[in-house]
Amino acid sequence: MENYKPKSRLTAKEYIDGVLRGDRVLLSRAITMIESNLDSDKRIAKEIVQAILPKSGNSFRIGITGVPGVGKSTFIEVFGLHLIKQGHKVAILSIDPSSQRSKGSILGDKTRMEELANMDEAYIRPSASGDTLGGVANKTGETMLLCEAAGYDIILIETVGVGQSETAVHGMTDFFLLLMLAGAGDELQGIKKGIMEMADMVVINKADGDNIRKSQIARSQYQNALHIFPQSESGWSPVVSTASAIKNIGIDKVWEEISAYKKLVLENGYFHQNRNLQQVQWMYNNINEELKRLFYGSKDIASQLSMLEKEIISAKISPVKAAQKIIEAFKKSF
Ligand code: GDP
């Protein structure tokens, strides 16, 4: 650590070598390059990601979601410690939509996962901030590749189960875990049907004390509900189990199920097929992001748009015609 002055700029090669030898300080600094919005940093970040790419991908990627208060941090802490005991190195990343608006993200709280944070085999990075969910997801995706190249063989990507960020996490992970509570209706938990449908496993957390019986009932209800969904392409039937993160009960069962899933999808080819699709989709997501940035970032376009807005309101032009007109103007600007 003492070898690097905090503010001194390093070469791409220094970052790359540092990441590849698992140097946590350089890993963090390389991630900072990825998160930066400065063009000079972005160039270095691209070089780093391109260079480490062949060394990435060798991990199992798990998405974890659930509404605030369901026990995600408590669960990830005990689950992470369990994985480390089995000899794994675990990186914990998050996609937190709130970080787009404020620096104080829900998931960024430093006091979370204190024991795990102190382990050499764990690397915890709070959510990147950015203007769009796509931008944040992109940065998290590249951060994941860096963590893999640095030797972390299990990546946990956490998100708050209330919106679009689940789809982003689902699109970059191999297994999707949904944490739920007994006794609260789905509406109350803000969990959309679409999110349930993405889940490879549902864990009813806080199955302790007076809550045990209710959790068991919820377990069979969710198990029945999941049967209604069409069979997943992975060939896996989603499972529901109960757990108590706080009492460390049922955590080993979660890992057993994930291991069974992993074995199945490696054998039937789904694992690689899904990863390939995700890679291609990632490219398209980037194209979409970049096009939006080019379009809305142009001052000329912005001023024409505000004029068109007025013309639409005063019924001088139809919305469709206005859209065509601005796209034509954009095309001519190249
Ligand atoms: P998050 O917002 O989803 O990250 O949830 P937290 O992990 O911060 O947990 C929210 C609250 O629920 C905290 O007060 C935890 O102590 C509590 N909690 C978490 N897991 C359990 C559990 O398994 N049983 C019980 N009884 N409480 C839990």
Q: Is the CB of 69 under 6 A from ligand 1?
A: yes
* All CATH 3.40.50.300 domain ranges in the chain, comma separated: 56-267
**107-118 average pLDDT score:** 72
**219-223 average pLDDT score:** 89
Given a cut of 80, whether residue 84 has pLDDT beyond it is yes
Q: Are 222 and 204 in contact (CB under 8 A)?
A: yes
* pLDDT for residue 101: 47
pLDDT tens digits, 259-300: 999 999 999 999 999 999 999 999 998 899 889 989 999 999
Options 3.40.50.720, 3.30.450.20, 1.20.5.170, 3.40.140.10; which CATH number does 1-55 get?
Answer: 1.20.5.170
* pLDDT for residue 82: 97
Nearest to 129 by CA among 143, 147, 116: 143
The residue among 220 and 185 whose pLDDT is bigger is 220
The residue among 23 and 132 whose pLDDT is bigger is 23
pLDDT tens digits, 245-260: 999 999 999 999 999 9
Q: What is the residue with the minimal CA distance to atom 26 of ligand 1?
A: 206
* All CATH 1.20.5.170 domain ranges in the chain, comma separated: 1-55
Q: Is the CB of 70 under 6 A from ligand 1?
A: yes
Burial pattern 272-297, b for ≥16 Cβ within 10 A else e, equals: eebeeebeeebeebeeebeeeeeeee
**Percent of residues, the chain, with pLDDT higher than 70:** 90
Task: Write out the two tokens for 206.
Answer: 């806080």
* pLDDT for residue 289: 86
Distance 206 CA to ligand 1 centre (A): 7
101 phi and psi angles, rounded to 5 deg:
-100, -40
Q: Is the CB of 94 under 6 A from ligand 1?
A: no
* pLDDT for residue 323: 97
Task: Specify the amino acid at residue 25.
Answer: V
Q: Which of 31-45, 164-178, 219-233, 306-320 has the lowest mean pLDDT?
A: 219-233
Given a cut of 80, whether residue 97 has pLDDT beyond it is no
CA distance 314 to 146: 52
For the domain made up of 56-267, give the CATH fold.
Rossmann fold (3.40.50)
Given a cut of 50, whether residue 33 has pLDDT beyond it is yes
* pLDDT for residue 103: 46
